Amino acid sequence: MSDVHFDIASLHAAYRDGVGVADVIATIYARIETADDPGMFIHLAARADLLAAAEALGPFDLVAKPLWGIPFAVKDNIDVAGMPTTAACAEYTYWPDKDATVVARLRAAGALVVGKTNLDQFATGLVGVRTPWPTPRNAIDAELVPGGSSSGSAVATARGIVSFALGTDTAGSGRIPAGLNNIVGLKPTVGALSTAGVVPACRTLDCVSVFALTVDDAYAVFSVVAARGAADPDPYSRGVAVQPLAARPPVLSVGIPANADLKFFGDAAMQAGFEASLAMLSRLGCRLVEIPFGDFYATANLLYEGAWVAERYAAIRDFMEANEAAMHPVTRKIIGGARKLSAADAFRGLYALQAYRAKLAQVIASVDLFCVPTAPTHYTLDAVLSDPIATNSRLGTYTNFVNLLDMCGIAVPTGTRDDSLPMSVTLLAAAGLDGLVASVARDLHAASGLTLGATGWRQPSAQPSGASAEDGTIELVVVGAHLSGMPLNGQLKEAGARFCRAMKTASSYKLYELVGQATPKPGLVRVGNGGTAIEVEVWRLPADAFGHFVAAIPPPLGIGNIELDDGSTAKGFLVESVGLLGASDISSFGGWRRFLSDRVST
């Protein structure tokens, strides 16, 4: 069992091959013993209890229980019935009588709770050392901080002790530990995952996050727990549509911090690693767009001023007033600073945030997504202990603004730096675009060729993805101005369409540049002889939006059946014969994108 990989696909394959859950549980405890890290878990499930939970799963059935037999860990500010919740403060301990909503959903899907993991006390910190328990050891280099506040969850995942772990993320706690331990950290849209049963840090910003060895695993967990139930007691939950993790559009605009605005605090290896990551994105077909980042940084600075420090204080005020001496000194200092604040200070912070949100809304909408370093540098334990506030603040350079601006994100490993330390970037996008950032992150991770966490395991083969014909959508073939990255692509997205795949038509079509079009467009025509294969994209529209979209198509364009080079047929854009008057045959270019590119270059 020592060689059984714990990514979800591999572990489920092992179960199909006859591996027993009891053997997997024995392996979990063996790996915990081998790790010899007393700071990783605050509470472990008794082996007998875990075996009983496994027995109660019934027969192997991934339809009824898509996470059947998958072990996971839970950050110890998230309730698990039968286990104490401490938030890394022994005096705060209570025993919940029911699971947090996210834990309940995971258990219902067949996942097994291994234990509760260590954290920066009351989820206040990005370093992982603000705990009265021993500091979890960074899985890659024990001299470095593990990252916080979800330190134990990240380390347990990176060591292959669990398949995934839950963290929380208010200011970066679901991303920084992932980046420092060579794993994936998914920070969903705020409100997509219920925080009912989670000890609050900042209730208006808190997210439950997912650590995993692969993007597919992180997104699979997200998909299980993201649905909002009618009985969800979390008033900050909101319905966020969870799309299948489909292929990404082949052309995306990716905002990156302008070169003058990048911050690495003297870490040349991290800067070089980020440049290499951007080169990978370019090779994947993404178009990089430099964005001034001063206002993003200014937004980030608000997080530890006024309103949100006061919100942390409000979350534990009664406990703190009665038990302040029990708190970690750095945590006590940060949260205690709220006592000097007034309601007027809080409103000033809220007004400032709203001003930045309004100012940055168009910037965020100007690109498909953003790419930033997950962390600007790596810090040793000694460096953080000698200057705990400044080092923590620097680690949040590219994370603190994200929830304030209502963005989703995912941290993904992209390589190994020259000094053998992990390199990671975070992909960010507007709320609700969790599937988009995950699809790009999956391609980045695959392109890196990295092994998983600290395990040495190879990445599993990519799983097939995309919508099925039974998911209530209709395929639409686009050939010109509606292609990804083209001027009218936004009309597709507004109609709720999602990219499915790029391919070619059968070799029986011609493509023409039409005349008299306000937005330049081509026209696709089927011919009997002398045709060629034309590059197209297949998108999927919700069935109820398809008719409205088609009705808005102006003549001479219309919708007809298009034969694709794999033998399938789908609805798509064709041009009426009257539209070919004065049009130029551009079939030799093989597609609209190549035609435009050639025209620009000449």
> What residues are labeled active site?
75, 149, 173
Beta pairing, strands 422-430 & 369-373: antiparallel
Q: How far is CA 533 from CA 181, 265, 530, 575, 585, in A?
A: 46, 51, 10, 16, 14
Angle at which helices 388-395 and 329-336 pack, to 10 degrees? 70
From 298, 291, 288, select the one nearest 357 (Cα to Cα): 298
Q: How far is CA 433 from CA 230, 245, 296, 447, 474, in A?
A: 23, 11, 19, 22, 21
- With a CB cutoff of 8 Å and minimum separation 6, the contacts of 374 are 175, 176, 178, 179, 185, 398, 399, 411, 424, 425, 426
Q: How far apart are the first and last CA of the chain?
A: 61
From 122, 468, 138, select the one nearest 311 (Cα to Cα): 122
| Helix ranges (DSSP H) in 476-515 | 489-494
Q: How far, rounded to the nearest angstrom, does the alpha carbon of residue 41 sit from its chain's CA centroid?
A: 24
The CA distance from 578 to 451, in Å, is: 57
| Helix H or strand E segment including 115 | strand 112-117
Do residues 144 and 421 make contact, with C-beta atoms less than 8 angstroms apart?
A: yes
| Helix H or strand E segment including 563 | strand 557-563
Q: Which residue has the tokens 């919708």?
A: 559
Q: How far is CA 141 from CA 99, 326, 381, 419, in A?
A: 34, 30, 11, 11
